Structure 1
Amino acid sequence: MSLAARAVYPSQPTPLRSHLDDLLGQVPTRDADDGVLVGLIVPDSNRTSGGAAAAQAYALLRGLEVETAIVISPSHHGNFGRLSICQTDSYHTPIGEVVVNDHLRNELCDEDDDIYVDDTGHYHTEGADVQLPFLLRSLEGDFDAVPIVMGEESPAFCRELGAAVGEVMHGRRSVVVGSCDVLEADADGLGKLQAAIEAFDESTLMHLLGSEAVRVEGMGSLITTLIAAKRRGAKRAEVLVLEGATEDAPGALSVALWR
């Protein structure tokens, strides 16, 4: 495997800021008539090979004031049968701290018995540890976050969490960010994946991602984010980047969800 394929995001503040700013700076500014952005789907991996795809999504947040980012990630510690929100009051990243919204954390737990305040699955090199630095460099002003790890990705859990997240987002300037990586898919599979996402068709997605046609890491994050965004009134899903995996690196998926 080449050094470029193995490269991960810098772990020190100055080079990480510079790297993220370079990625975001390469994305042209879009017109302001797209609607209200309520959700993003971005690569989960900490490999820099997914950075350009992530930047396509995060650049849409430039200049926006968001109160809360709800970040949904797959588990990298295996299945543990629940949905966990980290216990810490402040999530550390190399370029700054992000306050964890305790009120929304408890509200989500009250919404569903399968959501727990628990550190299982958190503080990894992927998931929220990749997304929060991007958010810090993209958003205007301060924001807080609710990092969630899915230790179970069954259709029932996706629907439960999607409904709960959509409910607590109501009336807030918020965005839901789900992360996943494309592990395997042929051209036909990628086409079906894009069509299902753009149609907000979670039933087809569940069937497709449960088959051999398309394999992703973060199936639950993808489906849950679509459900939550739809509950928030999203009517348009734009696939910004969709790339298949190579022998050296996972594929990349980047999606914007608009109301």
Structure 2
Amino acid sequence: MKKIRPPHVAGYFYPADPIKLKTDIQKMLEAAKTDASFNKIVGIVSPHAGYMYSGQTAAYAYNMLKGKNYKTAIVISPSHAEYFPGISVYDGDAYETPLGVVEIDEEKANKLVEGGKLIFRGIQGHRREHALEVQIPFLQSVLSDFKIVPVVMGDQSRTFVDELANKLAEIIDDKTLIVASSDLSHFYDARTADILDSIVAKRINEFDYEQLQRDLDSHKCEACGGGPIVTMLKAAALNNYNKAKVLKRTDSGDVTGDKSEVVGYLSAVVYD
């Protein structure tokens, strides 16, 4: 492997020490155990703040993947650090975290960009993006023998969402998982955040991605990874998946105790 994307936020968003990282994730997974189970999961929504704030919420979704035999995880992230008019699929060989190296699924990555103008192989969006990186140690903790397709949406408007959803629908199968990386509203008081975030949760639970897109467009709700969420739901629908369930919804104030200005998080599962 010649081109490996190194960890950028290890030691900041999550522990850089592999033993502590592994231990912390296992503790979060243990604390997030529920009686819920889903046989055919095609995708999850997972938040992407520092593990201290949103890792416990993410663990509810990742617990649902234990024991499942995915060969490819397509991780879709917003772009926080740079804007570009397109969707960037990492053009290297692998992503690295303190838990090791995860190879890129070259076949699926190339099929995703085949014949399109909006999706391309590149480095754009991947240099410093935390929202994609923080998902990988969780994947490494619950799956084995898998590859990834790291996707960063430089533009989350409807045209790009539709293009990516249609292309994903062509390449996913029962051995493929989609991870939509998203936080919810930012820096409102907890009561206001709850009103906004409950709309996102409602649309996910209703599997109503069209209305979610409209609500995001009209600012009735907020999600920094709204594009990845809608994309995943639409791609799932095109493959005859039609159910989704929010597993956990929290905000940063649940950890800090400060409810005057919070960031919202949720984890969810998309299944048949």
TM-score, normalization by structure 1: 0.90
**Correspondence for 1:50 among 41, 50, 54:** 54
What corresponds to 2:9 in structure 1? none
What 5-or-longer segments of structure 1 have no aligned partner?
Answer: 1-6
List structure 1 runs of 4+ shifted beyond 4 angstroms: 244-249
**Alignment length (residue pairs):** 250
Look up the SS of the partner of 1:127 in the other structure. helix
What is the aligned partner in structure 1 of residue 157 from structure 2? 154
CA shift, 1:244, in A, is 4.5
Please point out which of 237, 243, 247 is paired with 1:236. Answer: 243
Determine the structure 2 residue equivalent to 1:38: 42
Q: Which amino acid aligns with 1:39?
A: G
8 Å CA contact retained: 2:169, 2:236: yes
* Residue of structure 1 aligned with 2:224, choices 205, 209, 217: 217
Q: How does 1:83-98 map to 2 (within 5 A)?
A: 83-98=87-102
Q: Which amino acid aligns with 2:156?
A: E
Q: Say whether residues 1:251 and 2:264 are aligned partners.
A: yes
**Could you tell me which residue of structure 2 aligns to residue 167 of structure 1?**
170
- Offset, 1:47: 4.3
Find out whether 1:25 has 2:30 as its counterpart: yes
Provide the TM-score with structure 2 as the length reference. 0.86
Q: 1: distance between equivalents of 2:121 and 2:183?
A: 25
Confirm whether residue 14 of structure 1 aligns to residue 33 of structure 2: no
Measure the CA separation in 2 of the matches of 1:75 and 1:26. 30
CA offsets, 1:133-173, max 9 Å, x none? 1000011x200000000001111111110111121003x40
1:254 maps to a residue whose letter is S
5 Å-filtered alignment, 1:61-140, equals 61-124=65-128, 126-139=130-143
CA offsets, 1:100-121, max 9 Å, x none?
0111111001153211100111
CA contact (8 A) 1:190 1:244 kept: no
CA contact (8 A) 1:179 1:222 kept: yes
> How far apart are residue 243 of structure 1 and its match?
2.9
> What letter corresponds to residue 42 of structure 1 in structure 2?
S
Q: Give the drift of 1:248.
A: 5.6
Question: What amino acid is aligned across from residue 149 of structure 2 in structure 1?
Answer: V
Q: Distance in 2 between matches of 1:79 and 1:199?
A: 31
CA-CA distance at 1:196 after TM superposition: 1.4
Residue 199 of structure 1 aligns with an amino acid whose one-letter code is: E
Which residues of structure 2 form unaligned runs of 5+? 1-11, 187-191, 254-259
- What amino acid is aligned across from residue 256 of structure 1 in structure 2? V
Cα-Cα RMSD: 1.9
Give 1:78 deviation, angstroms. 3.0
- The 2-side partners of 1:206 and 1:245 are apart by 25
